Amino acid sequence: MRRHLWLVTMVGICSLAAGSVVGQQSSSPEKLRASGEHTSFEWLFLPISVAKDRGLWTRNGLEPEFIPAAASAVQLKQQVEAGVKIGLVNTAEVLLARSQGTPVKIVARYLGETVAKIFVRADSPMKTAKELDGKKIGILSATHTSYRAVLYMNDKLGIKAEPVALGDLENNTAALKAGTVDAIYSAEGAALTLVDSGVLKILVALPDVYPRPYTAVVVWATDDLIQQRPDIVKRFVKTVLEAVGYLKEHPDQAIDLYIEKTNAPRNLAGRAVTELNKFLMPSGRGSGQDLVSAVEENWQFTKDSGAIPVGTNVNVRDAVDVRFLP
């Protein structure tokens, strides 16, 4: 009898031990590839970096390997075809990609209104957006949202500015100094330091021109990931929004991360983080706290810019899934 009890006890202990091992294995972070890395855009690299630095990815059971963020709807389509199923990107790229048959949806939004601005030389006589009529504006590329921004301003303000694709902020600033263009578009915090140093001045804060409510940058996921692994989508969204909340609550640590990623001086990093934090939205719903409405206005902005073929349509409500928001 005693021997029987001893055997039962030992079997129970072994079962508990085996269960413990299984539990440890199942709690290992799940590896996945995600899109969203960027060396210059703080609204992309800061949430990713702070989530890694604070262990938020691991705590939520994920171990993402990030590849560069898609710079256009075409690149987003290519990433999905290569097997990437989730990431961070400008809102319009998801809608444009979906309108072209790429099975992607918006599942959260963490940057509300745009941080982008139109800058001119500090000694420029221009004082209003209307004075951009007939002027050349440096932008990143013809597939980037900066191109659509210039066309949207033309439509809303009744002007005819010409977008000129020049690449990064350094190239744009050089062209502005040389007189090749009359103004430049930038959403980078680094441009604000050029304002502080007397090189540039802000002519137009684009949130004053864009529609409201609005959403500039979102979390996207493929239809099949949403259907087959909604738990991954939920944990990814949770991590990004927690990271965004941490950035807003701990600006000094956000500044440290900015410096670590860019080697920027502390005053530049502080300026960039302060400006970014004005527009970060830990709720995941965009400005106005209604994700669908914010996305609808972004799509209206894209259509009004005239940068897409007439007749291009997307069902915004079908392109947004709010189930993963807190």
The parent domain of residue 177 ranges over: 117-208
- What confidence score (pLDDT) does residue 17 get? 40
10 Å CB burial of residue 109 (0-12, 13-18, 19+) is buried
Contact 45, 54 (CB under 8 A): no
Does residue 305 fall inside a structural domain? yes
Looking at the fold, whether 83 and 223 belong to one and the same domain comes out as: yes
Give pLDDT tens digits along the chain (326 positions). Answer: 444 444 444 444 344 343 333 333 347 999 999 999 999 999 999 999 999 999 999 999 999 999 999 999 999 999 999 999 999 999 999 999 999 999 999 999 999 999 999 999 999 999 999 999 999 999 999 999 999 999 999 999 999 999 999 999 999 999 999 999 999 999 999 999 899 999 999 999 999 999 999 999 999 999 999 999 999 999 999 999 999 999 999 999 999 999 999 999 999 999 999 999 999 999 998 777 799 999 999 999 999 998 788 888 899 999 999 999 99
Distance of CA 163 to the CA centre of its chain: 23
- What confidence score (pLDDT) does residue 5 get? 42
Looking at the fold, whether 201 and 276 belong to one and the same domain comes out as: no
Does residue 24 fall inside a structural domain? no
List the one residue out of 208, 196, 161, 324 whose CA is nearest residue 269.
Answer: 196
Looking at the fold, whether 219 and 108 belong to one and the same domain comes out as: yes
Strand partners, 88: 219
Does residue 125 fall inside a structural domain? yes
Looking at the fold, whether 140 and 127 belong to one and the same domain comes out as: yes
Does residue 16 fall inside a structural domain? no
List the one residue out of 105, 163, 113 whose CA is nearest residue 136.
Answer: 163
Looking at the fold, whether 107 and 237 belong to one and the same domain comes out as: yes
Looking at the fold, whether 164 and 232 belong to one and the same domain comes out as: no
Contact 189, 42 (CB under 8 A): yes
Looking at the fold, whether 78 and 188 belong to one and the same domain comes out as: no
How does DSSP assign 191-220, residue by residue? HHHHHHTTSEEEEEEGGGTS-SS---EEEE
Domain boundary among 188, 208, 228: 208
* Residue 141 token pair: 């590329």
Looking at the fold, whether 144 and 62 belong to one and the same domain comes out as: no
| Counted domains in the chain | 2
Domain boundary among 173, 193, 208: 208
Does residue 13 fall inside a structural domain? no
Looking at the fold, whether 124 and 269 belong to one and the same domain comes out as: no
Looking at the fold, whether 94 and 125 belong to one and the same domain comes out as: no
- What confidence score (pLDDT) does residue 306 get? 86
Does residue 11 fall inside a structural domain? no
In the numeric block, the tokens 């004005």 are attached to: 278
Does residue 309 fall inside a structural domain? yes
Looking at the fold, whether 181 and 256 belong to one and the same domain comes out as: no
Domain boundary among 155, 179, 208: 208
Looking at the fold, whether 41 and 72 belong to one and the same domain comes out as: yes
Does residue 244 fall inside a structural domain? yes
10 Å CB burial of residue 59 (0-12, 13-18, 19+) is middle
Rounded Cα distance between 247 and 266, Å, is: 16
CATH number at residue 92: 3.40.190.10
